[in-house]
Amino acid sequence: MAKDVLCEVNSCKYWAPGNNCSASSIYVVNNRGRDARHSEETDCKTFEPKV
């Protein structure tokens, strides 16, 4: 498992300085209902907007 998870989505509540992700786990799904072959075909379900 990766030790460092990088994220550039600074509108997410889990975004941390240095483009790091502070979530305790990450959940990524296929966004087209089939096996993903490219990153554009996935979505991060861990995302939560900053309030």
Q: Which token pair is 48?
A: 């939560």
Number of domains in the chain: 1
Nearest Cα to Cα of residue 24 among 43, 51, 48, 50: 48
Residue 34 CA to residue 31 CA, distance in Å, equals 8
Q: Which token pair is 7?
A: 């994220």
Per-residue model confidence (pLDDT) at position 15: 97
Domain that holds residue 32: 1-51
Each of the 51 residues of the chain gets a pLDDT tens digit; together they read: 678 899 999 999 999 999 999 999 999 999 988 899 999 999 999 999 998
Residue 24 CA to residue 26 CA, distance in Å, equals 7
Per-residue model confidence (pLDDT) at position 34: 84
Pairing of strands 28-30, 42-44: antiparallel
Per-residue model confidence (pLDDT) at position 47: 95
Per-residue model confidence (pLDDT) at position 42: 94
